[in-house]
Amino acid sequence: MTISASGLSHSSHLNAKVPAGRLQEKWDAYKNSVSLVSPANKRSHHILVVGSGLAGASAAATLAGLGYNVTCFCIQDSARRAHSIAAQGGINAAKNYPNDGDTVWRLFYDTIKGGDYRSREANVYRLAQVSNNIIDQAVAQGVPFAREYGGVLSNRSFGGAQVSRTFYARGQTGQQLLLGAYQALSHQIAAGRVTMLPRREMIDLVVDNGRTQGLITRNLITGELERYAGDAVLLCTGGYGNAYYLSTNAKNSNVTAAWRCYKRGAFFANPCYTQIHPTCIPVSGEYQSKLTLMSESLRNDGRVWVPKDPKDTRAPEIIPEDGRDYYLERRYPSFGNLVPRDVASRAAKKECDAGRGVGDTRLAVYLDFADSIRRLGEQTIRERYGNLFEMYERITGDNPYKTPMRIYPAVHYTMGGLWVDYELQSTVPGLFVLGEANFSDHGANRLGASALMQGLADGYFVIPYTLGAYLAGTRQSDQVPATNGAFAAVEDEAGTRIDRILNNDGDKSPIQFHRELGRLLWDHVGMARDRTGLESSIHAIENLREEFWERVRVPGTADRYNKNLEFAGRVADFIELGSLMARDALRREESCGGHFREEYQTPEGEAARNDEAFADVAAWEHTDGDPALHLEQLSFENVHLSKRSYK
């Protein structure tokens, strides 16, 4: 199979609208010249925010605080439960409080380099610039970050960074930042400026007159389809890691809202960039419903190893030093256990593929704290990681103070997402995409503690400016009300789709299909990919899609709480996305970040990037036939594209 080159273009669709001028001055220049919406007019603009995670809650609260009329939707029963809450390790900022040499430039550079030079310079620089404001904002909200005895904020170093720029709240940083944003949102709800609608799932986007008009949701309690018209839609619906079925994402995390937008004209960028997190609790059986991450901050004090001899199945505590291979320290002497996530994940896979994996399934490596406990004492380790150790023990029944943890990589984050320009606007006017749902800042690999930073940067500090630019250029007369035929047509389509799922006389559950899709993607579009596997997976996914619509079985009715019905709709979209992920991986004939093609590696087995041919963003457009590829060429005016080396 070859990817059709038809439709390949460098069209005006992909004008990233990066402001002119020096990198350091672009964001200020933008803010100086952007149109402002007058306070009186803000009230008349109705903004629909989908999702209440870090990006959604921070955007909704901030826009409402500015005076916009906001409606915010979430699929959980409360805005406080969005999956941002599960982030453990921390949030980066270029505060340089420890005085260890950090600067905005260094945070920018580390993020660009960590992303393997596949992100847009101007976006990443802006992210680093506003990072400091996020910490200020969170502290003002009462986020209880860790502190030193003198009362100042504490910082730690985090996967891949050589400075201590990570702020944290025990192992619950995501929870605390989300609760800060949720409380700010609650403040605006109380003030009557935000209408919060929980247990709503966005199931389609309404586009008419060449712009976003609103959306259709399903009320997850009554099953009703509901129409919402607005001036703009902010999609803050997170990533698509659950395409793999098993991932560290929450059970409800899904791609449906983003995928529906794709089918309405928003381009999907770099879907093949998925992050496999190196430190997760290994799979224990077929019934496994999700994977649990152990924060990679653990790698600060834990040492990763496997027995040198694959036949050595002794208990880890009694394997002597010379029987152990601390393979990360051996292969990457300068970064050791702190190499970036993609490097650590592939290294674990390599050991397990070579038969040196540990535990019952042999799909795990050890993460050992014995040395740190000897050096720092158990109390210090307990203070740093107590809740993580407890969690590990609850899940596995093993005590990591006594015996090494067993860990294995798992899908954790997706760098790809809907394509957005500098203003976070998609290719559909009036549809903005924030946080993990967009593709913009992490390139081919995200650094630890940068997801929280990006979600909040987009919501608190970027969209308040860029949304105004859009609104100032729109005309009220182009807007259509929810009673309009455009809404009715989309609602009808959604209803038909739901009826089709429910009335199918099938025999397989949505979860069975999801597991099969997950296995295909993990095997062929996972940590290592090759042409043969990708081509076969595209065919297999197409077969799975056909089988889904013939055999899926969902009990119950549409007019009630019906979890299987929700899942079925999401699985159908994941299957279509899976195919696009494989296509994108096939087209990218290089290895970069989270995308590793077996055919493109150095003699030492490291990723081989091809900057001449692939320093680009692949943005896919939905068509009735094969998806059409558009390219945004990435130009690097400020950083030198070096080979990523952590040796």
Partner 1 sequence: MIINLRIWRQEGPDSPGKLVDYTVHEASEHMSFLELLDVLNEQLLADGDDPVEFDSDCREGICGSCGLMVAGIAHGPRKRTAVCQLHMRSFKDGDTITVEPFRAHAFPVIRDLVVDRSAFDRIIAAHGYVSVTTGSAPDANAIPIPKDVADEAMDYAACIGCGACVAACPNGSASLFTAAKIAHLAQLPQGQVEASQRVMAMVDQMDAEGFGDCSNYAECEAVCPKGISIDGIAGMRRAYMKGVLSG
Cβ of residue 130: shortest distance to partner 1, in angstroms? 11
Both structure tokens of 599: 């055919």
Give whichever of 93 and 585 is closer to partner 1, judged by the CB atom. Answer: 93
Query: Does 384 participate in catalysis according to the annotation?
Result: no
Nearest-angstrom CA–CA distance, 340 and 330: 15
**Residue-wise burial string across 483-513, b where 16 or more C-beta atoms lie within 10 A, e elsewhere:** ebebbeebbeebeeebeebbebebeebbeeb
Find the catalytic residue in 218, 227, 264, 341.
341
Cβ of residue 312: shortest distance to partner 1, in angstroms? 24
Give whichever of 179 and 266 is closer to partner 1, judged by the CB atom. Answer: 179
Cβ of residue 396: shortest distance to partner 1, in angstroms? 8
Nearest-angstrom CA–CA distance, 42 and 30: 20
Through-space distance between the first and last CA atoms of the chain, rounded to whole angstroms: 37
Could you tell me the maximum CA-CA distance found in the chain, to the nearest angstrom?
76
Give whichever of 141 and 162 is closer to partner 1, judged by the CB atom. Answer: 141
Cβ of residue 134: shortest distance to partner 1, in angstroms? 9
Cβ of residue 259: shortest distance to partner 1, in angstroms? 20
Cβ of residue 197: shortest distance to partner 1, in angstroms? 11
Cβ of residue 397: shortest distance to partner 1, in angstroms? 6
Give whichever of 144 and 605 is closer to partner 1, judged by the CB atom. Answer: 144
Paired strand residues for 48: 71, 233
User: Which helix (DSSP H) or strand (DSSP E) does residue 211 occupy?
Assistant: strand 211-219
Q: Are 219 and 226 in contact (CB under 8 A)?
A: yes
Nearest-angstrom CA–CA distance, 88 and 95: 20
Q: How open is the CA angle 460-461-462, to the nearest 5 degrees?
A: 115
Cβ of residue 507: shortest distance to partner 1, in angstroms? 8
Give whichever of 170 and 324 is closer to partner 1, judged by the CB atom. Answer: 170
Q: Are 224 and 209 in contact (CB under 8 A)?
A: no
Query: How is 276-325 classified by DSSP, letter by letter?
Result: EEEEEPPP--TT-----B--GGGGGT-EEEEESSTT--S-GGGS-GGGEE
Q: CB atoms < 10 A from the CB of 70, how many?
A: 27
Q: CB atoms < 10 A from the CB of 463, how many?
A: 28
Give whichever of 246 and 338 is closer to partner 1, judged by the CB atom. Answer: 246
Give whichever of 48 and 194 is closer to partner 1, judged by the CB atom. Answer: 194
Pairing of strands 46-50, 69-73: parallel
User: Which helix (DSSP H) or strand (DSSP E) does residue 124 occupy?
Assistant: helix 121-141
Nearest-angstrom CA–CA distance, 555 and 465: 46
> Within a 13 Å sphere around the CA of 511, how many CA atoms are in the beta-carbon half?
10
Q: Are 87 and 451 in contact (CB under 8 A)?
A: yes
Cβ of residue 348: shortest distance to partner 1, in angstroms? 21
Q: Which of 320, 252, 292, 274 is nearest to 74 (CA)?
A: 252
DSSP state of 221: T
User: Which helix (DSSP H) or strand (DSSP E) does residue 26 occupy?
Assistant: helix 26-33
Cβ of residue 498: shortest distance to partner 1, in angstroms? 17
**Amino acid present at 188:** Q
Give whichever of 77 and 309 is closer to partner 1, judged by the CB atom. Answer: 77
Q: Is 138 helix (H, G, I), strand (E, B) or coil?
A: helix
Pairing of strands 46-50, 232-235: parallel
Q: Are 365 and 406 in contact (CB under 8 A)?
A: yes
Give whichever of 150 and 485 is closer to partner 1, judged by the CB atom. Answer: 150
Give whichever of 76 and 212 is closer to partner 1, judged by the CB atom. Answer: 76
Q: Are 293 and 248 in contact (CB under 8 A)?
A: yes
Q: Are 607 and 596 in contact (CB under 8 A)?
A: yes
Q: CB atoms < 10 A from the CB of 611, how many?
A: 15
Annotated catalytic residues are 341
